Structure 1
């Protein structure tokens, strides 16, 4: 295992910071742990010392801790950055991984599980809490109905035809409605699904089980 001599804990809640400090010492008893409570003092600490491991909270008083990950990596390319957060959604996870995070752990996981997962990351094992991994997988599982996004029957039909490659005019003819009505349905589909292209519409339709990816 890589040698971890210095740990930077970035957490604004005092009791949580103390808990993360204890977990760090338990996993790496020989390491020196520095605790800061915001982005600004974290940058001051990085200017004074090189860290081997950083436990980074996302919801800091002066911004998202994710912005610190590239800075930590710049000062030490071998440093491991582990996000420790309460956010269990795919968006925060993917944003953190894109920033360069080496792990993503939930602070409300049971202490034994949290410590085991942190040790696993240090040894190169999968970098996610079991609960966040499950939540991420659920994001990619087919959704057999449109209840979650609130599509009407016509909107679902427009999405399905669009995903199958039909242009608006062709879809309108198949549905027996005017071009402008079909275009309005498609616009509403894009708004509800928060998408902007036919490619995204196709992916959404496959994820909802409306079309076969084959």
Structure 2
């Protein structure tokens, strides 16, 4: 998959060096795809970000702890549009922060002090539609889940397993619909059912479940 043309990208962080780190990495990813970074918009606070949320962004990278509010609330608002890709970018790697972020609907959880090459790679994966967790975070979350169920005990229908498999590979709802020759509305209904049955609330958590079931 390729990055869409001229994406609109929101970067939320109160610290200028952190914003610069992110925007430079995003520009590098876009440059590698022959695109410029004209669509990048920066917000320096929770308040500043909240007034921008209706601008139709395609991607957002959000710091979790801002001086005047919580990044989780921004993520939750942005994910009212399920096709928008939203990632937390933070220095925190504790269970509670990760779980709160995924519960808010984030598609990725990136650690700010990761090696630049790794941060670049994770941003690129997110921007082509693949849920992305830093390796340490992915291991933490996988260890938290119970052992894989036998397929006979799997609560998902065959169609839901197909939808979960494609979602776990990074496809968005409209792309899943195209692959399965069903409507985007039907895909979203299946995703709601999958989230309810598996007790997950984000694409990143769903991707972990797909991996557990050997569907990716």
Q: Do the structures match in fold with TM over 0.5?
A: yes
Instruction: Tell me whether 1:40 sits opposite 2:42 in the alignment.
Output: no
- Report SS of the residue matched to 1:45: coil
The answer to whether structure 1 residue 96 and structure 2 residue 98 are counterparts is no
SS in structure 2 at match of 1:54 = strand
The number of aligned residues is 140
Residue 168 of structure 2 is matched in structure 1 by none
RMSD: 2.1
Question: Distance in 2 between the 1:133 and 1:100 partners?
Answer: 16
Q: With a CA cutoff of 8 Å and minimum separation of 6, indicate the structure with the bigger relative contact order.
A: 2
Shift of 1:38: 1.3
Query: TM-score by structure 2 length?
Result: 0.59
CA distance in 1, matches of 2:139, 2:103: 19
| Gaps in structure 2 of 5+ consecutive residues | 147-216
Per the TM alignment, residue 139 of structure 1 is displaced from its structure 2 partner at its CA by: 5.0
Gaps of 5+ in 1: 142-214
CA distance in 2, matches of 1:93, 1:112: 22
Superimposed CA distance per residue, residues 67-94 of structure 1 (whole angstroms, 9 cap, x where no aligned partner): 01122233x4421001100111121111
Tell whether 2:78 aligns with 1:65: no
Answer whether contact 2:13 2:45 (CA < 8 A) is retained: yes
Q: Which residue of 2 aligns with 1:125?
A: 130
TM-score computed with the length of structure 1 as normaliser? 0.59
Matches within 5 A, 1:44-59: 44-47=51-54, 49-59=55-65
Contact 1:89–1:135 (Cα < 8 Å) also in 2: no
Q: 1:78 matched to which residue of 2?
A: 83
1:23 match? 25
Deviation at 1:101, TM superposition (A): 0.2
- Structure number, greater radius of gyration: 1
Secondary structure, in 3 states, of the residue corresponding to 1:46? coil
